[in-house]
Structure 1
Amino acid sequence: MTPVRDLAAFEWPASRPARAFAWRPGQRHRPGLAFMSATGRLHGFKSLAERRVLLALDFVGGMTEVLSQPFTLKFTTCQRPVRHTPDFLALTRGTALLIDVRPADLIKPDDALKFAAAQRAARAVGWHYAVVAGWRPQPWAALEALSARRRAMSDPLGLLPELLELTAEQSRRLGELVAATSWPTLARAYLLHLLWSRRLTLDLALPLGDESWIYLPRRG
């Protein structure tokens, strides 16, 4: 058992999930394993909503480790002792993000109590905390499409400098950009890879398609 004040100093990479991921006939949720390019390995999830969180974390990047079911938080209310296991702990350089996943229409008062305790524990050690209660349809559809090209790709035809040079000249619509390359069909697949790795960028609030504007990312 570890006090909350010592969570930040715990050796998380060597830890194991607080709860096992079980598969059995007739269960209503959809557990599984999802690959993350950020860590190069599979991560457990208990539902499709949690799988989406792993995909979003992979896209955001900057994670040094992502742990499923990282620990069980034990606390006591005026009425009873309570246990809560957050869904993910995403470690970054210098801090961490503790995450709970629950669709908004399924959050009950008891869940809200547990989330409040998890948020307080996270703040006590300098972490961030979030409850993922849903997704806007357009950004999620775009992430799903981009994730198909998230693994490393070779570039024997030199599409990378060509796509970057064309976009540096001016921002272009996706269909126009790939059509201006030497190999349009192959450039489309490589462009999705560049968007996933954020060598190029677009507005995820809008539908992804040939009319999407493609930009060079701003450098701070």
Structure 2
Amino acid sequence: MSATTGSELRSDVCDLAELVTPFTGDADFRQNLVLAPSWPRRWSTTWLIDGSQVVWPVRDLESVPVLDSQPVRRFTWRARQRNRPGLEPMVSTGRKHGFESLEERALLRGLDFVRAREVLPQPFRLDFEHTSGRSAHIPDFLALMPDGNWLFDVRPAELVQDEDAVKFAATREVAAAAGWRYTVVGGWRHHVQGVLDALSARRRPRTDPLGLQSQLLAAAVERPRSFAELVGSTEWPALARVEAVHLLWHRRLGVDLGSPLQDSSLVWLGGAATRGRS
């Protein structure tokens, strides 16, 4: 019998799109947009480059030096504010990134897990036309991924208003015109945030003077094992727990992100080649 059934949310090979529950209701509001043939020229994006605002029409987005840009809106911290802003360190980029809510922090953590090369908060302001006039929208993040750019908005699905949906529909058109992916993160699959939070505690670079990581990987090569059995196969099981979590974060070991992480969780050697190992 296969140790993995194919129904698991495999941490070692999953894409971020498999972890979130996207809001897609903006498709119903596409009809509210003015998408005449000239719209890529008429809609514009404003970026902050070297401290100055620079405007590019949507049709010219491929020429924007995105890595030279700064957020078009600054983060603010003040007493008694309702949202929870802060800075999230990311191992994949090697620096801290601003967020304006706990939902945005969760996305940054997910992007770190799937190895975003760079993440730009509030990358640009979009000015667009709709049937009731003109509006503006600032997407939450632009992530530079190994396979291309990915634009994000973050809003719990139950809080999306019609005005938001129009803005998301416009942003989706812009992303498609630029050849980018676009996702409105409306939530997360069950247990994913909790498991990623647990794994992220050991994401930073580590030394391994006892060689426990190699022992864990060697044990996982033989066959998938429960977390408790895997760490118990090493010379120092208590210390091996920390190294196992580190290897899970870095996807050298795999686990089901759709279930709570516990001693009975099945752990396997990371990589697509291990799928279905008996």
TM-score of the pair, normalised by structure 1: 0.96
Give the Cα separation in 2 of the matches to 1:101 and 1:177: 37
**Alignment partners' CA distance in 1, 2:212 and 2:127:** 53
The residue type equivalent to 1:115 in the other structure is: F
Contact 2:190-2:258 within 8 A present in 1 as well: no
RMSD: 1.1
Aligned to 1:207: 260
Question: How many Å separate the matches in 2 of 1:92 and 1:205?
Answer: 23
CA–CA separation in structure 2 for the residues paired with 1:100 and 1:42: 19
Distance 1:94 1:205, change over 3 A: closer
Distance 2:185 2:272 in 1: 29
More strand by share: 2
How much has 1:93 moved relative to structure 2? 3.6
Report how far residue 94 of structure 1 moved: 4.9
Residues in 2 aligned to 1:35 and 1:218: alpha-carbon distance in whole angstroms:
26
Q: What secondary structure, in the 3-state scheme, does the structure 2 residue paired with 1:25 have?
A: coil
Contact map agreement 2:156 2:187 (CA 8 A) in 1: yes
- Structure 2 counterpart of 1:152, from 205, 223, 229: 205
For residues 89-139 of structure 1, what are the alpha-carbon distances to aligned partners after superposition, in whole Å with 9 as ceiling and x for unaligned? 001245200000001111000000000000100000100000001123411
What is the rounded CA distance, in whole Å, between the counterparts of 1:196 and 1:190 in structure 2?
A: 10
**Structure 1: gaps (5+ residues):** none
For 1:156, what is the secondary structure of its paired residue?
coil
What TM-score does the superposition give when structure 2 sets the normalisation length? 0.77
Distance 1:137 1:94 in 2: 26
Q: Distance in 1 between matches of 2:167 and 2:209?
A: 52
Aligned identity (percent) is 51
Q: Secondary structure at the match of 1:215?
A: strand
Partner residue in 2 for 1:46: 100
TM-superposed CA distance for 1:160, in Å, is: 1.5
Residue 33 (structure 1) aligns with: 87
Name the SS of the counterpart of 2:142 in structure 1. strand
- How far apart are the structure 2 equivalents of 1:193 and 1:181? 15
Runs (4 or more) in structure 1 with deviation over 2 Å come to 217-220
Q: CA deviation at 1:211?
A: 0.4
Give, in angstroms, the shift of residue 8 of structure 1. Answer: 2.6
The residue aligned with 1:14 is: 68
Structure 2 partner of 1:71: 124
Give the aligned length: 219
After superposition, give the CA deviation of every residue in 1:24-74 in whole Å (9 maximum; x if it has no partner): 22211111111110111110111000000000000011x221000000100
2:230 equivalent in structure 1 = 177
Look up the equivalent residue of 1:193 and give its one-letter code. H
One-letter identity of the residue aligned with 2:212: L
Corresponding position of 1:218:
271
- Return the alpha-carbon distance in structure 1 between the equivalents of residues 260 and 80 of structure 2: 36
Structure 2 alignment gaps of length 5 or more: 1-54, 274-278
Partner Cα distance (1:137, 1:153) in 2: 30
Question: Whole-Å Cα distance in 1 between the matches of residues 225 and 147 of structure 2?
Answer: 37
Matched, 1:135 2:151: no
- Equivalent-residue separation in structure 2 for 1:9 and 1:214 (angstroms): 44
Per the TM alignment, residue 15 of structure 1 is displaced from its structure 2 partner at its CA by 0.4
Structure 1 residue 4: Cα displacement: 1.0
Q: Equivalent residue of 1:206, what SS?
A: coil
- Partners in 2 of 1:42 and 1:89 — Cα distance? 15
Q: Distance in 2 between the 1:25 and 1:104 partners?
A: 27
Task: Classify the secondary structure of the residue corresponding to 2:79.
Answer: coil
SS at match of 1:142: helix
